[in-house]
Chains A and B, each alone.
Chain A
């Protein structure tokens, strides 16, 4: 038996953590290991290696330990029980050849423990002949060798140079591992101890003491600094430097067996702490050379479980430009090393995830995770699925590949091996019918059921099957892309629709930020083929909210997405350019030039002094519960008194008379302030009367009024504006729609809806149109007109140069035909 004492002059150097990790590594490598906690004043090993049942026993004061054993020896009482009763067997993975036993300090921190510790201190104060602590510790060491027969005894010593720390350490150990930070006081104290250890006499038949030094918590990147080199020179050749990891430093979590009660930092990815992890395992493997293959296996296992734990508990994802929160597993819902036993057969799960805090007796396992070495993974998964009610089993393996198995297909008595590569998070169990199934269909089903959790993944999938064609290689799946778009567009719930738009815009933002210089074309595709169609197809309340939130102010970078979508509509549909900022700069400059003023004057006389004049060029959107202009009031023409209008009756009458209009009744474009307004009450009542859905009537109205706004505020491609080309204001019950504007706008509205390929929207547009005035129906006779011709005609009219034949005649004829 080799006895290794881990010692530090000062606390907080990661000593207990290293003891626990070394013990695990050696046990996983096939060694029989006993860990003894002699840090009696601040014992901590129990929390690193003990399970919840053991911790509960400690809390209730019923856990025997080193203090009790030492006390009985010091007081000269005969040993009543075998040491095996005080030793706790630490669960190891199924099939591990090694064994790990822990002898804790005792029932710390219960009152029972401190009472026993006080008794021990008092007993030691009276100088009993041959009854001192070193004698008692030597006896305990001999008992461990006699009764437990380990290959390694690892001792967690207390700090400082006391009888328990210094003397006992040097007498007991064959090897001492001294840990120190780079702090001057820690290094100086360690040097004193080092001299003492080397100078202390050895007992007969004891081998010369070997001392190793570990310089811990050295900031990453400073492991080769001058300071470290100086300290290494002072301490000697056998110095190993372990890097610092703030996560592990603050949480004291085990590398492969974590027991933190705090939230895992997780601002990195799964490689968090990897440098420390790797350095620690390398040191252990070098310091305790054994069977190389076993050590490598142990290393792989610890790394795999470590990475999995990180993945499960990481609360943020790193993204370009920042972090995004992540619905991780809370640690109280996770348990490590849980043994399941049935029919005299048992297995140890490395991690078990529960549906509620694991301490709750009603907790049921949701997922079993086991690292499998050498066994058939399918067989192991089947065992777990058959023996537990857990719906998911994750099998880790040496090849770093993890496989997920689902209990959903237990009907065919074979474990279903999923294609999913990442381990499910808690939300997956609530939102997915089968948490291992992250196919597009499964994710879209979750959206249909109202879950927003998978929207990011869906958008990424859409990009993968759509945008990737720009770079070649990846599969182009237009039908799948279409399916994703149509399903997302079918969302009825306004809050979910808002989240759909947010998820899409978020993706665009991040891609835009990352790819602005290299792959901007991907962004354009997301904007034009996903975000914009969704903006026009989803319930208008959600769309308008996004259009409002994406206003110019508060944008971290780039143009607001809502504005980009509107600009895209102007460009692709009307052949216009819509960019209010550019309009402001160009037109403002023109005004200042005419006035002979400098645009760069840094006061109100410069360009910014003109800002109020241009505010209306930035289209704003609003949903109003007010009465629309046509229903606000009617003045009794005979008596000159105002009288209220029944909106429902007004709409009903107009539908009956096929004189329904959009502008002025369902919506409005207020040219003076550049505002698009949707009248919610009128839209709802109109939809009811036409047996349509309000969201579709609203979307048609939104598109229609936005086209009005763009026809007014869009600039020609050469930069000219035609502010006089505008709608007559809908200012009262006598308002009559402009035949020219409405015919044109309906034509472009139709073209836009056709391009959206939304059958429900097209049906709503046609149903509404059938009940509208001839100007609103004329598009039906013009829909074969090429878009280029319509644009050309529209441009001429905007410029006031008239319209060449035969278009006016065609329009008049169409309206006339509809009027019959």
Chain B
């Protein structure tokens, strides 16, 4: 197998990987692990890849698309979730039940966010929460900014 073939896993392989990743992420959440968000990010990556190689009309394709959006939300990567949701909802072939799942996940997340941060919501600053995700990644990626951030 070529390296290019190696870097492109098959649907079956991705099914296995995503199953394992989901199980791992769930366990880490139960264990209150500080790396559970990273585990969900991994799930999101597999689901996104599955969605790429499957049609939205197929059951597996629909499940993968909905899974990618919910995993992104679980990972706290709200901008990614919104981007994926917008992309998948634009696909006409997406079955209505999957479309509903994606829309509800985004709505539910927004609702939860507004509940948790009522004052920021009231002041129209809820966007700062999304920005903070990027902010944190930026800072962590540049240790010269905050040499000992946490």
Please determine whether B74 and A129 come into contact, CB atoms closer than 8 angstroms. yes
Contacts of B111 in A (CB 8 A): none
Please determine whether A204 and B127 come into contact, CB atoms closer than 8 angstroms. yes
Does A642 interact with chain B (Cβ within 8 Å)?
A: no
Kindly report which residue of chain A lies nearest to residue B77, judged by CB atoms.
A129
Please determine whether B37 and A204 come into contact, CB atoms closer than 8 angstroms. no
Does B139 interact with chain A (Cβ within 8 Å)?
A: yes
One digit per residue, 1 when the CB lies within 8 angstroms of any chain B CB and 0 when it does not, for chain A 112-154 equals: 0000000000100111111110110011001101110000000
Q: How far is the CA of A363 from the CA of B122 in the complex (A)?
A: 49
Please determine whether B120 and A142 come into contact, CB atoms closer than 8 angstroms. yes
CB contacts under 8 Å to A, within B35-89, are 35-38, 40, 73-76, 78
Please determine whether B37 and A127 come into contact, CB atoms closer than 8 angstroms. yes
- Give 20 CB contacts A-B under 8 Å: A76-B116, A79-B118, A125-B34, A126-B34, A127-B36, A127-B37, A128-B76, A129-B74, A131-B116, A134-B136, A135-B132, A139-B117, A142-B117, A146-B119, A163-B150, A196-B145, A196-B146, A203-B132, A203-B135, A204-B131
Q: Give the interface of A toward B (CB within 8 A).
A: 73, 76, 78-79, 122, 125-132, 134-135, 138-139, 142-143, 145-147, 160-163, 166-167, 171, 192, 195-196, 199-201, 203-205
One digit per residue, 1 when the CB lies within 8 angstroms of any chain A CB and 0 when it does not, for chain B 107-136 equals: 000001101111110110101110111011
Please determine whether A129 and B148 come into contact, CB atoms closer than 8 angstroms. no
Please determine whether B135 and A130 come into contact, CB atoms closer than 8 angstroms. no
Please determine whether A166 and B120 come into contact, CB atoms closer than 8 angstroms. no
Please determine whether B113 and A130 come into contact, CB atoms closer than 8 angstroms. yes
Please determine whether B147 and A130 come into contact, CB atoms closer than 8 angstroms. no
Contacts of A131 in B (CB 8 A): 116
Please determine whether B147 and A161 come into contact, CB atoms closer than 8 angstroms. yes
Q: B146 to nearest A CB, angstroms?
A: 5
Kindly report which residue of chain B lies nearest to residue A170, judged by CB atoms.
B146
Q: How far is the CA of A131 from the CA of B116 in the complex (A)?
A: 9
Please determine whether A127 and B135 come into contact, CB atoms closer than 8 angstroms. no
Q: How far is the CA of A192 from the CA of B115 in the complex (A)?
A: 37
Please determine whether A126 and B33 come into contact, CB atoms closer than 8 angstroms. yes
Please determine whether A126 and B146 come into contact, CB atoms closer than 8 angstroms. no
Contacts of B120 in A (CB 8 A): 138-139, 142
Q: How far is the CA of A171 from the CA of B119 in the complex (A)?
A: 17
Q: How far is the CA of A297 from the CA of B40 in the complex (A)?
A: 59
Kindly report which residue of chain A lies nearest to residue B29, judged by CB atoms.
A126
Contacts of A167 in B (CB 8 A): 139, 146, 149
Q: B79 to nearest A CB, angstroms?
A: 12
Please determine whether A171 and B132 come into contact, CB atoms closer than 8 angstroms. yes
Q: Give the interface of B toward A (CB within 8 A).
A: 32-38, 40, 73-76, 78, 112-113, 115-120, 122-123, 125, 127-129, 131-133, 135-136, 138-139, 142, 144-150
Q: How far is the CA of A795 from the CA of B76 in the complex (A)?
A: 114
Q: B134 to nearest A CB, angstroms?
A: 8
Contacts of B76 in A (CB 8 A): 127-130
Given the contacts A130-B133, A139-B117, A201 and B37 also touching, CB distance less than 8 Å: no
Kindly report which residue of chain B lies nearest to residue A76, judged by CB atoms.
B116
Given the contacts A138-B120, A143-B119, A127 and B34 also touching, CB distance less than 8 Å: yes
Q: Choose among A76, A162, A203 the residue that contacts B131 (Cβ–Cβ < 8 A).
A: A203
Q: A38 to nearest B CB, angstroms?
A: 16
Given the contacts A79-B118, A167-B139, A201-B138, A129 and B146 also touching, CB distance less than 8 Å: no
Q: Choose among A78, A166, A205 the residue that contacts B149 (Cβ–Cβ < 8 A).
A: A166
Please determine whether B73 and A129 come into contact, CB atoms closer than 8 angstroms. yes
Please determine whether B145 and A199 come into contact, CB atoms closer than 8 angstroms. yes
Please determine whether B125 and A142 come into contact, CB atoms closer than 8 angstroms. yes
Please determine whether B116 and A73 come into contact, CB atoms closer than 8 angstroms. yes
Given the contacts A201-B135, A203-B131, A161 and B123 also touching, CB distance less than 8 Å: no
Q: B142 to nearest A CB, angstroms?
A: 8
Contacts of A139 in B (CB 8 A): 116-120
Q: B63 to nearest A CB, angstroms?
A: 22
Q: Which A-B residue pairs are the 4 nearest by beta carbons?
A: A129-B76, A142-B119, A126-B32, A143-B119
Q: How far is the CA of A200 from the CA of B123 in the complex (A)?
A: 23
Q: B140 to nearest A CB, angstroms?
A: 10
Q: How far is the CA of A139 from the CA of B113 in the complex (A)?
A: 11
Please determine whether A132 and B132 come into contact, CB atoms closer than 8 angstroms. yes
Please determine whether B37 and A129 come into contact, CB atoms closer than 8 angstroms. yes
Q: B46 to nearest A CB, angstroms?
A: 18
Contacts of A204 in B (CB 8 A): 127-128, 131
Q: A532 to nearest B CB, angstroms?
A: 76
Additional A-B contacts beyond A130-B78, A138-B117, A161-B148 (17; CB < 8 A): A125-B32, A128-B37, A129-B75, A130-B129, A131-B116, A132-B132, A142-B117, A145-B119, A146-B119, A146-B122, A162-B150, A166-B148, A171-B132, A196-B145, A199-B142, A199-B144, A204-B127
Kindly report which residue of chain A lies nearest to residue B35, judged by CB atoms.
A127
Q: A278 to nearest B CB, angstroms?
A: 36
Q: Choose among A73, A138, A166, A203 the residue that contacts B146 (Cβ–Cβ < 8 A).
A: A166
Q: How far is the CA of A19 from the CA of B150 in the complex (A)?
A: 25
Q: B26 to nearest A CB, angstroms?
A: 14
Q: How far is the CA of A450 from the CA of B33 in the complex (A)?
A: 77
Contacts of B40 in A (CB 8 A): 129
Q: How far is the CA of A139 from the CA of B129 in the complex (A)?
A: 9
Q: How far is the CA of A521 from the CA of B127 in the complex (A)?
A: 84
Q: How far is the CA of A131 from the CA of B29 in the complex (A)?
A: 14
Q: How far is the CA of A143 from the CA of B116 in the complex (A)?
A: 12
Q: How far is the CA of A587 from the CA of B100 in the complex (A)?
A: 124
Q: A193 to nearest B CB, angstroms?
A: 9
Q: How far is the CA of A134 from the CA of B135 in the complex (A)?
A: 10
Q: How far is the CA of A195 from the CA of B74 in the complex (A)?
A: 34
Please determine whether A132 and B128 come into contact, CB atoms closer than 8 angstroms. no
Kindly report which residue of chain B lies nearest to residue A166, judged by CB atoms.
B146
Q: How far is the CA of A73 from the CA of B116 in the complex (A)?
A: 6
Q: A799 to nearest B CB, angstroms?
A: 98
Kindly name the residue among B38, B40, B123, B146 whose own CB sees the greatest number of chain A CB atoms within 10 A.
B146
Please determine whether B150 and A78 come into contact, CB atoms closer than 8 angstroms. no
Please determine whether A142 and B33 come into contact, CB atoms closer than 8 angstroms. no
Contacts of A132 in B (CB 8 A): 132, 136
Q: How far is the CA of A147 from the CA of B34 in the complex (A)?
A: 33
Contacts of A201 in B (CB 8 A): 135, 138-139
Given the contacts A129-B75, A167-B146, A196-B145, A203 and B116 also touching, CB distance less than 8 Å: no
Q: A808 to nearest B CB, angstroms?
A: 108
Contacts of A79 in B (CB 8 A): 118
Contacts of B127 in A (CB 8 A): 204
Q: How far is the CA of A135 from the CA of B76 in the complex (A)?
A: 12
Given the contacts A126-B34, A167-B149, A171-B132, A135 and B115 also touching, CB distance less than 8 Å: no
Kindly report which residue of chain A lies nearest to residue B125, judged by CB atoms.
A142
Q: How far is the CA of A619 from the CA of B113 in the complex (A)?
A: 97
Kindly report which residue of chain A lies nearest to residue B113, judged by CB atoms.
A130
Please determine whether A126 and B123 come into contact, CB atoms closer than 8 angstroms. no
Contacts of B142 in A (CB 8 A): 199
Q: A651 to nearest B CB, angstroms?
A: 95
Contacts of B129 in A (CB 8 A): 130, 135, 138
Kindly report which residue of chain A lies nearest to residue B76, judged by CB atoms.
A129
Please determine whether A200 and B117 come into contact, CB atoms closer than 8 angstroms. no
Contacts of B136 in A (CB 8 A): 132, 134
Contacts of A127 in B (CB 8 A): 33-38, 76
Kindly report which residue of chain A lies nearest to residue B73, judged by CB atoms.
A129
Kindly name the residue among A79, A126, A130, A132 whose own CB sees the greatest number of chain B CB atoms within 10 A.
A130
Q: How far is the CA of A185 from the CA of B128 in the complex (A)?
A: 35
Q: B58 to nearest A CB, angstroms?
A: 29
Q: Choose among A142, A166, A195 the residue that contacts B123 (Cβ–Cβ < 8 A).
A: A142
Kindly report which residue of chain A lies nearest to residue B117, judged by CB atoms.
A139
